[in-house]
């Protein structure tokens, strides 16, 4: 088990992942969620995109895209129109290799109209991809952060 975990951590690091690594317990799952929240709240497309694997597939409403370059482009468009974007994530449940979060985010448009959304997200490790089923404006992807 220890050797398998070390091999998985090494593979995950090679993909640009950051700890904590699976298997998750409650403390490490909460830490992972907090780190993801903090990264998204920087509103830095480059920083956020690096948290996802090169082959991540995202869906945002009727838009589908894949890979970090397309993720970066999406986030640049998103944050150009969603001003003062702020995200809050809460751990919903977890297993040894998956995390589900409830989250809400708010922003306003150029006219000053504020918006708030309450979608959900599932985070899967690179060896256990999440299905691309998703509600809301954020993306669901195989995560390496």
* CATH number for position 101: 3.10.450.50
- % residues pLDDT > 70 (the chain): 71
For residue 138, being part of any structural domain is answered with no
More confident residue, 53 or 17: 53
For residue 132, being part of any structural domain is answered with no
pLDDT at position 3 over 80: no
Number of domains in the chain: 1
For residue 134, being part of any structural domain is answered with no
Beta bridge pairs of residue 94: 99
For residue 82, being part of any structural domain is answered with yes
For residue 76, being part of any structural domain is answered with yes
Confidence of residue 90 (pLDDT cuts 50, 70, 90): very high
For residue 12, being part of any structural domain is answered with yes
Determine the pLDDT at residue 5: 54
CA quadruple 107, 60, 90, 49: dihedral sign: negative
For residue 71, being part of any structural domain is answered with yes
> How many whole angstroms separate alpha carbon 95 and alpha carbon 113?
38
| Number of DSSP helices (H) and strands (E) in the chain, helices first | 4, 6
pLDDT at position 27 over 80: yes
Domain span including residue 39:
2-124
pLDDT at position 91 over 90: yes
> How many whole angstroms separate alpha carbon 97 and alpha carbon 67?
22
pLDDT at position 83 over 70: yes
**In 3-state terms, the chain is what percent helix, strand and coil (to 5)?**
35, 30, 35
pTM of the prediction?
0.71
Determine the pLDDT at residue 6: 63
DSSP label at residue 142: B
**From 37-41, 45-49, 53-57, 137-141, the region with the lowest mean pLDDT:** 137-141
* 77's tokens: 């468009």
- At 98-135, the pLDDT tens digits run 999 998 999 999 999 999 998 766 665 554 444 333 33
Average pLDDT, the chain: 80
* 2-10: average pLDDT: 58
């Amino acid at each position: 088990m220890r050797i398998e975990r070390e091999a998985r951590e090494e593979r995950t690091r090679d993909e640009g992942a950051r700890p904590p690594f699976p298997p998750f317990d409650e403390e490490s799952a909460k830490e992972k969620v907090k780190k993801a929240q903090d990264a998204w709240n920087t509103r830095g497309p480059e920083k956020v995109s690096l948290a996802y694997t090169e082959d991540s597939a995202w869906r945002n409403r009727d838009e589908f895209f894949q890979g970090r370059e397309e993720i970066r482009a999406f986030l640049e468009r998103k944050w150009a129109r969603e001003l003062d974007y702020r995200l809050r994530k809460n751990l919903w449940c977890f297993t040894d290799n998956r995390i589900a979060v409830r989250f809400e985010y708010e922003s306003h448009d150029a006219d000053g109209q504020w918006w708030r959304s309450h979608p959900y997200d599932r985070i899967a490790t690179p060896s256990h991809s999440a299905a691309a089923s998703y509600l809301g404006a954020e993306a669901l992807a195989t995560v390496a952060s």
